[in-house]
Amino acid sequence: MKTQNRVTTKYVGYLDIKQHLLFLVIPLLLISIITFTAFDTSSAYQYLSLIGCGYTICYAITYFTHRQNMLRLWQHLEHVIHINDTTYELVNLSSQYDSEQAFLDALLLKAISVIDDAEMGSIILVDNQTNQLQFESVIGLNIDALQNINFTLEETFLYRLTQGHCHKTVVISNINAKSPKRYDQFILPNASTKPISSTLSSPIRIEDKLYGMMNLDSSKMEAFGDFDINLVNILTSEAANAISLYQKSKKIELLADYDGLTELYNRKKFDATILQWQHLPELASYIIILDMDNLKPLNDQYGHQTGDDALKAFAQSLKSMWHPHFLVARYGGDEFIALCRGPIDVLEQQVIQLQHDLALLSPAIHFSYGFAQYDQDWANAFKQADNNMYSQKRLKKQLAQP
**Tens digit of pLDDT for each residue in 217-233?**
998 888 898 888 888 88
Q: Poorest-confidence range of 172-186, 261-275, 290-304?
A: 172-186
CATH number, domain at 125? Answer: 3.30.450.40
Q: Which of 61-65, 242-246, 335-339 has the highest mean pLDDT?
A: 335-339
For every residue of 319-333, DSSP letters joined together read HHHHTTTSEEEEEET
Residue 76: band (very low, low, confident or very high) from pLDDT cuts 50, 70, 90: low
pLDDT reported for residue 190: 62
Q: Of 41, 60, 92, at which residue does a domain stop?
A: 92
Q: How many CA atoms lie within 13 A of 61 on its CB side?
A: 6
Is residue 4 a part of any domain in this protein?
no
Instruction: Over range 33-58, report the average pLDDT.
Output: 75
Percent of the chain with pLDDT over 70: 84
Is residue 262 a part of any domain in this protein?
no
Instruction: Over range 92-96, report the average pLDDT.
Output: 62
Provide the domain count of the chain: 3
Q: Does the pLDDT value for residue 127 go beyond 70?
A: yes
pLDDT reported for residue 295: 93
Is 206 in the same domain as 107? yes
Instruction: Over range 341-366, report the average pLDDT.
Output: 94
Is 358 in the same domain as 345? yes
CATH number, domain at 342? Answer: 3.30.70.270
Q: Poorest-confidence range of 62-66, 200-204, 346-350?
A: 62-66
Is 306 in the same domain as 339? yes
Q: How large is the greatest C-alpha to C-alpha distance in the chain, in angstroms?
A: 138
Residue 90: band (very low, low, confident or very high) from pLDDT cuts 50, 70, 90: low
Is 280 in the same domain as 395? yes
Residue type, 277: W
Is 273 in the same domain as 317? yes
* 317-334 per-residue burial string, b: 16 or more CB within 10 A, e: under 16: bbeebbeeebbbbbbeeb
Is residue 310 a part of any domain in this protein?
yes
Is residue 37 a part of any domain in this protein?
yes
Contact between 368 and 399 (Cβ < 8 Å): no
Map residue 217 onto helix, strand or coil: strand
Is 241 in the same domain as 116? yes
Q: Which residues pair with 280 in a beta bridge?
A: 283
Is 252 in the same domain as 272? no
Is 144 in the same domain as 282? no
Is residue 3 a part of any domain in this protein?
no
Q: What are phi and psi of 122, to 5 degrees?
A: -155, 155
Q: Of 256, 286, 315, at which residue does a domain stop?
A: 256
Is residue 294 a part of any domain in this protein?
yes
| Sequence-ordered strand ranges (E) for 237-312 | 285-292
User: What is the distance of C-alpha 310 from the center of its chain?
Assistant: 36
Q: Of 92, 114, 133, at which residue does a domain stop?
A: 92
Domain of residue 200 covers 97-256
Is residue 298 a part of any domain in this protein?
yes
How many angstroms separate the Cα of 256 from the Cα of each of 1, 245, 247, 309, 333?
28, 16, 14, 22, 17
Is 286 in the same domain as 385? yes
Sheet strands side by side (includes 120-126): 133-139, 120-126, 209-218, 198-206, 170-172
Is 231 in the same domain as 135? yes
Sheet strands side by side (includes 285-292): 327-332, 335-341, 285-292, 367-374
Is residue 2 a part of any domain in this protein?
no
- pLDDT tens for each residue of 106-116: 888 888 888 88
Query: How far apart are the C-alpha atoms of 166 and 158, rounded to whole Å?
Result: 6
Query: Other CB atoms closer than 10 Å to residue 4's CB: what's the count?
Result: 8
Nearest Cα to Cα of residue 107 among 120, 119, 123, 96: 123
- pLDDT tens for each residue of 162-216: 998 898 999 988 766 554 444 444 455 567 777 888 899 999 998 889 999 999 9
Is 108 in the same domain as 252? yes
Residue 302: band (very low, low, confident or very high) from pLDDT cuts 50, 70, 90: very high
Q: Does the pLDDT value for residue 62 go beyond 50?
A: yes
Residues 6+ apart with CB under 8 A from 315: 259, 261, 262, 263, 264, 330, 336
Q: Does the pLDDT value for residue 71 go beyond 70?
A: yes
Q: Does the pLDDT value for residue 398 go beyond 70?
A: yes
Strands 327-332 and 335-341, by their bridges, are antiparallel
Nearest Cα to Cα of residue 330 among 383, 271, 266, 390: 266
- pLDDT tens for each residue of 130-168: 889 999 999 988 888 787 778 889 888 888 889 988 989
Query: How far apart are the C-alpha atoms of 200 and 396, rounded to whole Å?
Result: 69
Map residue 161 onto helix, strand or coil: helix
Q: Which of 56-60, 169-173, 244-248, 313-317 has the highest mean pLDDT?
A: 313-317
Is 88 in the same domain as 102? no
Query: Other CB atoms closer than 10 Å to residue 258's CB: what's the count?
Result: 16
